[in-house]
Structure 1
């Protein structure tokens, strides 16, 4: 900013114009909020029982060990009072400077003003002292069961993050500075962004993370060449065009999760796993699941197995003339692939030559971070919701996953958009993240009750398709890729599930990063490495301690594993055949319907 710009007088006419815009936008805001859905209290937060347990444990501790509580309080009071006195002394000496700040780095407080300006630094440090005191009080609270304590820690952290001074205009120096620099234009733009988001989501508070007009599925993302060669009520089957003159005989089918859409594996050519696989010489098929509505209320896990997995394998065998296929399951699709493989074993069906699992949970004994939402208070609320509507609206799953990373996916984007007045970025991954899907009512309840809560697959007790299914039935060669910082499918749980599979041929790869970035990790980026260790007889910690770290993507290592199980090379196959004519160009119609 130049000196002339800094000294430029405020333009009254511009301020008046912005005030008029704010009045119009305020009317639109009220209209948008009038359409907001009524969310049941059971889906808004944990039940009062959790808070009652916490209060009871706190009072019991205060009565039995008052010195512990007193020590916590004195520590907090001492820090806040000392900081207050230090700040007053600075002012008394005529120094408009902040006292010493030992709070350490925090991406929320990246502006230099948080450290140098006495007012903003005071607010920041007092917030940090309070956050630390609350966190310590919860962490050191005895008398709670481990699951209750973990939930209390999580929801306490949510409240702490919500109350950060960065989230409020009056205590955010960057937003205030921006408002002054733009004569209030940033606030007008921010209000316009807020109103637009509310209108886009029918009154629900959902921050648009990416510029929705910057991308078009099939236009500039999801563009790998292919054809839809089969369609039923559950999915479209896409066969991708060959990228080599020769292809391996055994076809490969990818089953992506139906919580989001498959094009996460085909965002753009540079990071498309789908494109990369075709370039390695594989005949690739990908399932694109339907986005269900109330008409799918009675569709359960058995339907996904019979009308999804088994139907797709049947069609791929018919198209290619091969008796066996290799398969990949990602996240919930990997969990269901495990169920399918158990069923196929019991039926004597040897169609699958090998199976790969991306970030897949089959052992739910430790649910990881997402477990805070898998207790009866939330699941009962979801069951009531889907019973009434016939499906679980994408709003709920999207919101749940966002709150697992609230600072990254809610607060920071809201600050940039609503306080700073910035337009959402043109970021393909964030665009995909906002393009979520609904879940059928029956399937939602079965998955949450049978798998997540009761862990019936790992126990060998789950009954689907008129059979009792178990991990021990899975005897095909298995390769599993888990991600080190995955907040949805904890890697140690994924590892334990693979341990229980009956296969004698198991490979486990641990990628750096999380649920998405750890999988969408092309070799060209040379970004995240991975760990390998052939000994799967030990527990997860011992496995990692003895594992070898490998630089770069796991993709080539997996491809080398897959190549050995894909047969000889044949002339490349074009999509479809006489009985499977092209129904649509990739990425198909299901991926863009039901938005």
Structure 2
């Protein structure tokens, strides 16, 4: 038998003291959780569960009903589960006798929850692990194999079950996780006291709702100090955005100015985290006159700002301002995520009205066709949207934590439960990480804008179908004939590569579809100085995504130089570098401006 490390004996006095402190911290956590109720801001009463819970029950209940209508299939499903457990019990019996035995269920290679050696070397914890894997996979099979349910209901059931399975993993609990048991005994429970203290702090930060910290809040990240530090000036401001013009670092610049349209469902400085991985700083170093929109963090005053407002007061106003600052009437533009969707809408509007001022478009992990929009579609059926709209109506906006939670739920084991265990059970402060600091710097969404986005994109997919109406104008992407660079990433959970691939066929002009490695953030922020991932190019989009990838050319390193060559070929003329604030638009203050500092 394998020799195992002896579990330490606790210091009883220290354990008792920490138990008392744990109860004190628990009381504090309960108090901050109930504070909104005491102040009348209310959680649902005990007999009124949240509507999200009702939807989970209804959805999984629908799956259960489909199995129960066929008793024979139900018996067969139960038999499969019983057979798996009988095999596991036999295997475990051999393990306890000191005999080798093949496992019945093995974690996937990428599943790090059971990486600790004792999950395999200790027969008891191996049994707990395999029991969980057998049961969860059996339940997932029931959802996958249920007959007579529509695909949207099946998709929701798969998503909800994934959340439940993630929450119930034995790796999340002290008494069923050998690593946590050992850790707790070694610290005489002090880890649980620290964890409960952090739990109270995070509930307080979330104003009564748990906002799980993903990075060390005391690490000293500060916008304009050590993140978002590329030099520049705010040269224009209105109710919705500030326009930043970045200071040149080359003697000459490409004549055509460049506008970045970031998402408003996060702040723009994901593209300017630090000098080593700032896409904005790199673009400036290549000789681009870079302008970037910094969206306001909206409140009740912005409730009626809709998609058209963001187009006219955002992109169109920025192009007007760029014309004053540079004397140029035409721009190249890039849009990231939903900022790219807005850019596509603007291009379609310009094509419809003849006011074609954007001469090329770069889309970074952007969807224009939402047919294959992934798990976020779970939140975008009629019932869910009505619920969100009712909440937004009360305040005029959607709280930033709402979207942050939805994004985290796309990868619950990595983005929720790993931090729950690390923070609140191990009592460890997470590592400082600028990207996760940015991720926690949430933004709100105006009611009118977010409602339009959910309904026209996720629910009805009107842009891809040529049915979107904006300002009484019908928008048709086929009329967009400017060159398009369309970047997708292979592991994107927010804008899936297939969705971006299909969206490439909706434009009327040339499209260069490029597939980068990694996901929605890391695949984009992949600087040439330290590239972590490569990219694939394969010419025009046709056929299936799998066939396109099979025929594509893989290039090691960052996609950034490839993109810049694409951009430069369109308009290579250069002029002397432009200094922000010295032309038609005076400086209103240094970058990164004031709007980006507004907290949700």
Paired residue secondary structure (1:341): helix
Partner of 2:391: 385
- Report the Cα distance in structure 2 between the residues aligned to 1:90 and 1:539, rounded to whole angstroms: 48
Partner of 1:446: 452
Question: What do residues 381-431 of structure 1 show as CA deviations (whole Å, max 9, x unaligned)?
Answer: 101111122111112111111111101110001101111111121011111
Check 1:12–1:352 CA distance in 2 against 1; reply closer, same or farther (3 A cut): same
Structure 1 residue 242 corresponds to structure 2 residue 248:
yes
Partner of 2:39: none
- Report the Cα distance in structure 1 between the residues aligned to 2:540 and 2:583, rounded to whole angstroms: 47
| Deviating 4+ runs (over 6 angstroms) | 5-9
- Report the Cα distance in structure 2 between the residues aligned to 1:574 and 1:331, rounded to whole angstroms: 29
Question: What do residues 333-367 of structure 1 show as CA deviations (whole Å, max 9, x unaligned)?
Answer: 11111111111122221211211111111111222
Question: What do residues 516-556 of structure 1 show as CA deviations (whole Å, max 9, x unaligned)?
Answer: 11111112223111111112243433322321111111111
- Report the Cα distance in structure 2 between the residues aligned to 1:268 and 1:578, rounded to whole angstroms: 28
Paired residue secondary structure (2:43): coil
Select 1:148's aligned residue among 123, 145, 153: 153
Alignment of 1:393-432 (within 5 A): 393-432=399-438
- Report the Cα distance in structure 2 between the residues aligned to 1:415 and 1:182, rounded to whole angstroms: 15
Question: What do residues 96-150 of structure 1 show as CA deviations (whole Å, max 9, x unaligned)?
Answer: x885435144311010010011221111111111112112222122211222222
Structure 1 residue 466 corresponds to structure 2 residue 472:
yes
- Report the Cα distance in structure 1 between the residues aligned to 2:54 and 2:535, rounded to whole angstroms: 36
Paired residue secondary structure (1:379): helix
Paired residue secondary structure (1:538): coil
Partner of 2:272: 266
Partner of 1:508: 513
Whether contact under 8 Å (2:303, 2:397) holds in the other structure is: yes
Structure 1 residue 101 corresponds to structure 2 residue 103:
yes
Partner of 2:197: 192
Q: CA RMSD of the aligned region, Å?
A: 2.0
- Report the Cα distance in structure 1 between the residues aligned to 2:26 and 2:155, rounded to whole angstroms: 40
Partner of 1:575: 580
- Report the Cα distance in structure 2 between the residues aligned to 1:192 and 1:53, rounded to whole angstroms: 40
- Report the Cα distance in structure 2 between the residues aligned to 1:255 and 1:471, rounded to whole angstroms: 18
Paired residue secondary structure (2:529): helix
Partner of 1:14: 14
- Report the Cα distance in structure 2 between the residues aligned to 1:555 and 1:73, rounded to whole angstroms: 53
- Report the Cα distance in structure 2 between the residues aligned to 1:45 and 1:272, rounded to whole angstroms: 43
- Report the Cα distance in structure 2 between the residues aligned to 1:51 and 1:527, rounded to whole angstroms: 40
Whether contact under 8 Å (1:535, 1:543) holds in the other structure is: no
- Report the Cα distance in structure 2 between the residues aligned to 1:148 and 1:546, rounded to whole angstroms: 35
Task: Give the aligned length.
Answer: 583
Q: Per-residue deviation at 1:324?
A: 1.0
Q: Per-residue deviation at 1:193?
A: 1.4
Whether contact under 8 Å (1:47, 1:377) holds in the other structure is: no
- Report the Cα distance in structure 2 between the residues aligned to 1:12 and 1:77, rounded to whole angstroms: 42
Whether contact under 8 Å (1:319, 1:580) holds in the other structure is: yes
Structure 1 residue 476 corresponds to structure 2 residue 482:
yes
Q: Per-residue deviation at 1:53?
A: 2.7
Q: Per-residue deviation at 1:515?
A: 0.9
The TM-score, its normalising length taken from structure 2, stands at 0.93
Select 1:136's aligned residue among 138, 141, 144: 141
Alignment of 1:83-122 (within 5 A): 83-91=88-96, 93=97, 95=98, 99-102=101-104, 103-104=106-107, 105=109, 106-122=111-127
- Report the Cα distance in structure 1 between the residues aligned to 2:259 and 2:245, rounded to whole angstroms: 9
The TM-score, its normalising length taken from structure 1, stands at 0.94
Check 1:45–1:112 CA distance in 2 against 1; reply closer, same or farther (3 A cut): farther
Partner of 2:502: 496
Paired residue secondary structure (1:523): coil
Partner of 1:212: 217
Structure 1 residue 456 corresponds to structure 2 residue 462:
yes
Question: What do residues 419-452 of structure 1 show as CA deviations (whole Å, max 9, x unaligned)?
Answer: 1111121011111111111000011111111121
- Report the Cα distance in structure 2 between the residues aligned to 1:7 and 1:343, rounded to whole angstroms: 68
